[in-house]
Amino acid sequence: MEDTCSCHFSGNDCSGPGGPGNAASAGRPRGRVAAVDFGKARIGLAISDAERILASPAGTIPRRSEAEEAAFFCRFAKENEVTLWVVGLPLHLSGEESPLSQEARAFGQWLERVTGIPVVFMDERFSTCEAEAALAAAGLKASKRRRKRDTVAAQMILAAFLESSRAKEQLPSKHNQGQDFGDLTLGNSERGLP
């Protein structure tokens, strides 16, 4: 994807007051995290609270032109004071990347460039199936499940990310260094890459 828009227009950083440049209070990261359930037809969204405890669905958008998507994600990030994006990575059951996961990675890299907000990738192998099962268990008809499935999947991706982040915080620091949690893949900015 090309950079068709930048969120850093007129000196305004779309990350808002809790943006990535601000120090976390009491050593714990703060600021709202947004999750993306990437798809070719639709994108599901979820958002956390500033304390990164709760994950809430934030809607589904149909895929649009790059310029429209760039404007949407910049506006969404600014309005919701997003400090981190989590993009779901649809892996094969074996854990290997699929063609769709490579597209999700490219989308995440584009999202980071366009909004200026760091992106991490989270294994989302079962999020859509789990979302479908949860919506069916809630008694929603198939047509309503289809409309809500992507945003609920994003909520599940975000909840898993928040939980894995809290688990990582509980480890003593010597066990935390270089630890691979399996479900979490860092984006370029998290690896210190351009």
- 51-91 tens-digit pLDDT: 999 999 999 999 999 999 999 999 999 999 999 999 999 88
The fourth-level CATH superfamily of domain 30-172+182-186 is YqgF/RNase H-like domain (3.30.420.140)
Give residue limits of the domains in the chain.
Answer: 30-172+182-186
Residue 7 has pLDDT above 60, yes or no: no
Give 18-56 pLDDT, tens digit per residue: 343 333 445 567 899 999 999 999 999 999 999 999 999
Cβ count near 93 (within 10 Å)? 7
Of 162, 156, 168, nearest in space to 52 by CA: 162
Of 40, 105, 34, 102, nearest in space to 72 by CA: 34
Give every CB contact of residue 136 below 8 A, 6+ residues apart in sequence: 145
Model pTM score: 0.71
